[in-house]
Amino acid sequence: MEETSHKRVELQGIGVSPGVATGPVFLMTTEEDRFVERAIADDEVAREIARFEEALIETRRQLHDIQRQVGAAIGQQSASIFDAHLLVVDDRSLVEEVIRGLSVQKKNVETVLRLVTDRYAQALLRVEDDYLRERAADIRDVSRRILRNLSGAASSSLANLDTPCILVANDLAPSEAATLNKQKVLGFATDLGSPTSHTAIMARALNVPAIVGLHDVSVRVSRGDTVLIDGNKGVFIIHPTREDLERYGKVEEARKTLQSSLDRLRDEPAETIDGYHIVLSANIELPGDVDTVLASGASGVGLFRTEYLYLSQKHLPNEDEQAAIYEDLARRIAPEHAVIRTLDLGGDKFLSTVKMPQEMNPFMGWRAIRFCLAQPEIFKTQLRAILRASARGNVKIMYPMISSLDEVLKANLLLDECMDELRAKGIPFDPDLDVGVMIEVPSAALTAHLIAPHVDFFSLGTNDLVQYTLAVDRVNERIAYLYQPTHPAIIRLIKNTIDVGHQHGIWTGVCGEMAANPLMVPLLIGLGVDELSVSAPAIPLVKDVVRRLRFSQAEELAQLVLERESAFEINEQCRALVGQVAPEILDLLA
């Protein structure tokens, strides 16, 4: 490619799907669907309702078609993303609110629909949980599709592009991402989005390099501009130089070579060169995630976040429904273990079926084990369901957000009551199933010696442990620089928890983001952790770091780190060791 006289511009976004791609820009304009707001007479309301219902039927048909196409092309797990879109179409409260609005506001259905869906989306955008906040994009996506069907306009499609390109847009709906032609779309970049958006998930499933959160990239480029995207590090270069193309070409070759070697590790043990074995398991949120776990080579499920079973439906799942899901998980993952975490509701995850108080600081309020102990019937329903699944012998149970021994004793007492109830009915269960607690509150880490005699394992939730220990809201961009997993206080809390566990003959795992960070893996091993539980896609990379390491190196690193005084120094020590044992991995990390 010839050197260009255009000025080179480098932008930094969030890499959400790995890979490097270069090509001309296809600029996708995402103008709001235009419609005319108009008043309607009383006798027109019925006609507007009929138009709305016809548009819903057509939207549902289109979404089912997209879901089938995605399922056939890249698997049912990716296709299940559109379950959320179908739930929006079938949400009777939303539909009925639009119908009521027609009668009250006397406006055409397009106007009322936009007002209602905007209100729903804005409400979701105000919550602090990334996953739930991104559901606002699902509502907007479905709303746009309904509006197009009301107008009779053809749906936009990326399936018919003429030449290979880099797609650039303000935002990209998952239904649009699902229909893109992989042979033509080399990668994409958007102004908006986050790693938890469904569009980001679709990009990873399609194996298309992607960057989101670039703020204004859609107004910085013109159609036909040559650009380079690095989905590993989130780098977007407008008018790359010849040196850029050569350097990133080498990076992409290295990534492909590394990925090919990682794929071969599936059936290899997570064991250091000198024979130290670590249990490497997976975190999941939905039963459908088990397919990915099995394909990754994980040693079981280290964290099943059960609250999403409750949030994905309009009623509280009963004991039989939950037992069936937990039993299926235990059966499919056997002989490996499955750690089922009890409800972690509250904070940013609320049930529509349970009235919960408005709180000034919900993350430190009525949530997780506090909610469960205050709602014993809801809690005991789940405990009995987990106990029934434990009859298979490979189920463990874990309580979230424990802050005191008193909470553990109360939870265990309810668990004993559930065992008595099942015995009385002759329903089998494992009376010796392991019971563990999440250590994610400083008070729990500091009183681990009091808690340990009453449990069988600890699991360090490092995301919240960092947040609560350092008083840092991890979604607040202004103080994001203070969110430091390598802060000396965090390292000491982790070390104390592990040591206390070993003194009492129980194992300690880590299921937060630190466990999935290749830089942190040697340090955690050196501190003595027994299990790392990470998202299934991270399993091969973490396993590779473990297998390139000597336990003696990890121990030496931990000793050095415990003497350091700053998060920066500790991070540099970790980086130095990974650079020594796996330099190609270090090259790929942002």
Most confident listed range (16-30, 119-133, 447-461, 527-541): 447-461
Confidence of residue 31 (pLDDT cuts 50, 70, 90): very low
The answer to whether residues 449 and 588 belong to one domain is yes
> Which 3 state secondary structure label does DSSP give 243?
helix
Instruction: List Cβ neighbours of 538 (8 Å cut-off, separation of 6 or more).
Output: 516
Confidence of residue 200 (pLDDT cuts 50, 70, 90): confident
> Is 61 a member of any domain?
yes
The answer to whether residues 129 and 198 belong to one domain is no
pLDDT on residue 14: 86
The answer to whether residues 168 and 136 belong to one domain is no
Instruction: List Cβ neighbours of 460 (8 Å cut-off, separation of 6 or more).
Output: 438, 439, 440, 494, 497, 508, 509, 510, 511, 512, 529
* Higher pLDDT, residue 308 or 406: 406
Radius of gyration of the chain (CA): 25
- Output the 3-class SS for 530-574: CEEEEEHHHHHHHHHHHHHCCHHHHHHHHHHHCCCCCHHHHHHHH
pLDDT on residue 153: 54
Confidence of residue 352 (pLDDT cuts 50, 70, 90): very low
Q: Is the peptide bond before 376 cis (omega within 30 degrees of 0)?
A: no
CB hemisphere CA count around 519 (13 angstroms): 17
pLDDT for 332 beyond 70? yes
The answer to whether residues 422 and 518 belong to one domain is no
> Is 293 a member of any domain?
no
Tell me which of 62-66, 345-349, 386-390 is least confident: 345-349
Number of domains, the chain: 4
The answer to whether residues 180 and 147 belong to one domain is no
Q: How many residues does the chain have?
A: 590
CB hemisphere CA count around 144 (13 angstroms): 19
Confidence of residue 213 (pLDDT cuts 50, 70, 90): confident
Question: Phi, psi (5° rounding) for residue 329?
Answer: -60, -50
Tell me which of 172-181, 437-446, 519-528 is least confident: 172-181
The answer to whether residues 463 and 380 belong to one domain is no
Confidence of residue 222 (pLDDT cuts 50, 70, 90): confident
pLDDT for 358 beyond 60? no
> Is 395 a member of any domain?
yes
The answer to whether residues 466 and 503 belong to one domain is yes
pLDDT digits (tens, 9 = 90+) for 128-157: 666 666 677 778 878 888 887 887 654 445
Domain boundaries, position 345: 306-433
What is the percent of the chain where pLDDT is above 70?
84
The answer to whether residues 13 and 47 belong to one domain is no
pLDDT digits (tens, 9 = 90+) for 63-75: 887 777 666 555 5
CATH of the domain at 238: 3.50.30.10
Number of H helices, E strands in the chain: 26, 16
Q: Which of 165, 418, 511, 574 is catalytic?
A: 511
CATH of the domain at 61: 1.10.274.10
pLDDT on residue 393: 95
Cβ–Cβ under 8 Å, residues 127 and 150: no
The answer to whether residues 24 and 78 belong to one domain is no
> Is 250 a member of any domain?
no
> Is 260 a member of any domain?
no
> Is 428 a member of any domain?
yes
Residue that is last in its domain, among 151, 177, 199: 151
Q: Which of 85, 165, 198, 418 is catalytic?
A: 198
pLDDT on residue 4: 46
**198 carries an active-site annotation:** yes
Tell me which of 137-141, 316-320, 486-490, 569-573 is least confident: 137-141
> Is 506 a member of any domain?
yes
The answer to whether residues 448 and 575 belong to one domain is yes
> Is 518 a member of any domain?
yes
- Nearest 5°: the CA angle 251, 27, 15 is 35
Please count the other Cβ atoms lying within 10 Å of the Cβ belonging to residue 29. 9
pTM > 0.85 = no
What is the percent of the chain where pLDDT is above 90?
49
Helices (H), ranges, 316-461? 319-333, 368-374, 376-389, 405-425, 442-446, 448-451
Q: Which of 547, 412, 537 is nearest to 18 (CA)?
A: 537
Residue that is last in its domain, among 93, 125, 151: 151
**502 carries an active-site annotation:** no
pLDDT digits (tens, 9 = 90+) for 79-118: 666 677 778 888 888 889 999 999 899 999 989 998 988 8
Residue that is last in its domain, among 243, 258, 274: 243
Cβ–Cβ under 8 Å, residues 312 and 287: no
Mean pLDDT of the chain: 85
Confidence of residue 59 (pLDDT cuts 50, 70, 90): confident
Tell me which of 161-170, 306-315, 329-338, 379-388 is least confident: 306-315
The answer to whether residues 13 and 59 belong to one domain is no
* Higher pLDDT, residue 513 or 225: 225
CATH of the domain at 451: 3.20.20.60
The answer to whether residues 473 and 414 belong to one domain is no
